[in-house]
Amino acid sequence: MRLGVLDVGSNTVHLLVVDAHPGARPLPAHSHKTELRLAQLLDADGSIGPDGIDLLVSVLHEALQHAEDKGVEELLPFATSAVRDASNADDVLGRVREETGVELQVLSGEEEAKLTFLAARRWFGWSSGKLLVIDIGGGSLEIAYGMDEEPDAAVSLPLGAGRLTAGWLPGDPPEAEDVRALRRHVRTGIARSVGDFSRFGAPDHVVATSKTFKQLARLAGAPGSAEGPYVQRELKRESLEAWVPRLAGMTAAERAELPGVSEARAGQLLAGAMVAEGAMDLFGVERLEICPWALREGVILRRLDHMGPA
């Protein structure tokens, strides 16, 4: 069957269409994304204002048209931290439901972490042993660890690249004092959760998902996206530590000229790099592997699991 997963994230609204059935690998058929940056449309009181809701509704109508054009049989719509954290989340969901017919499922941070972990586990398989999975989104950081398909530990922290850029790095390039303050904030936030994971022992394999990690790995010399999803891509902490001060000295426009860095994500790449560096350091990770699958694939896999054998 043809499934569509509609992801309303902090940075983008992304429709991924796949051909899938239980027991088989989902095959991508179509992808449509719109840069919305919902997290940056929040008003001073933490709500998504009328203009932001209007824009979201418009983007969803467009995504629904793409889903119809591509013959999607079932749509799996969900929202993450930008809607979850909005003070008027119920109003936003009500407007979306009323004007588009879409019933957005708001995932908790822990659900995000668990579904991303499921996707990584299925991609790397049982031979990868105990997995530590790290995902940096626009609004939050998810970390999960375990040896089964359900992680033994999973947390979500408000350390997304977009959120941190908007709240901590107003300059372009940012002031050195702001960078240092953000570094302290990030590491303090991550350190609070390290103990929840360390009691399970060292992981056998560390993987990362998300656009942020893919861009950082590309900067460190990993193959580009044109070489396909099956090429191994890794990121070494040593390389990341060398790039963070370089990124801190660049403007967003200068970062956008780097290999693999999109103009839309260039402004928040420094914050994302600082979160990645902090996580790798505090968890004692020297290198990690980039996983092509993430939250959207996790949502699809969970739905297929619930369908049972064909």
Size of the chain, expressed as the number of residues it contains: 310
> Does 34 lie in the same domain as 179?
no
CA distance 207 to 125: 12
> Does 188 lie in the same domain as 93?
no
CA distance 54 to 206: 40
> Does 130 lie in the same domain as 73?
no
With beta carbons less than 8 A apart as the criterion, state whether 131 and 203 touch: yes
CA distance 18 to 30: 7
> Does 176 lie in the same domain as 78?
no
CA distance 39 to 132: 27
Domain end, chosen from 106, 135, 152, is at: 106
Asked if the structure places residue 188 within a domain, the reply is: yes
Asked if the structure places residue 117 within a domain, the reply is: no
Asked if the structure places residue 50 within a domain, the reply is: yes
pLDDT of residue 309: 59
User: pLDDT under 70 in the chain at which residues?
Assistant: 308-310
End-to-end CA distance of the chain: 10
Token pair of 53 as six digits: 């809701």
User: What's phi and psi for 134, nearest 5 deg?
Assistant: -125, 130
> Does 128 lie in the same domain as 10?
no
Domain end, chosen from 106, 139, 156, is at: 106
Asked if the structure places residue 254 within a domain, the reply is: yes
Asked if the structure places residue 300 within a domain, the reply is: no
> Does 101 lie in the same domain as 161?
no
Asked if the structure places residue 118 within a domain, the reply is: no
> Does 253 lie in the same domain as 160?
yes
> Does 264 lie in the same domain as 207?
yes
Total domains, the chain? 2
Asked if the structure places residue 262 within a domain, the reply is: yes
Domain end, chosen from 106, 138, 168, is at: 106
What is the secondary structure of the chain as a DSSP string? -EEEEEEE-SSEEEEEEEE--TTS--EEEEEEEEE--GGGGB-TTSPBPHHHHHHHHHHHHHHHHHHHHTT-SEEEEEE-HHHHT-TTHHHHHHHHHHHH----EE--HHHHHHHHHHHHHHHH-GGG-SEEEEEE-SS-EEEEEESSSS-SEEEEES--HHHHHHHH--SSSPPHHHHHHHHHHHHHHHHHHHHHHHTT---SEEEEESHHHHHHHHHTTPPPGGG-TTS--EEEHHHHHHHHHHHHTS-HHHHTTSTT--HHHHTTHHHHHHHHHHHHHHTT-SEEEE-S--HHHHHHHHHHHHH---
> Does 161 lie in the same domain as 91?
no
CA distance 213 to 266: 13
> Does 272 lie in the same domain as 147?
yes
CA distance 33 to 101: 19
- Output the CA torsion 103→52→214→77 (10° steps): 10
> Does 283 lie in the same domain as 225?
yes
> Does 152 lie in the same domain as 98?
no
Range of the domain at 31: 2-106
Token pair of 232 as six digits: 């191994």
Asked if the structure places residue 233 within a domain, the reply is: yes
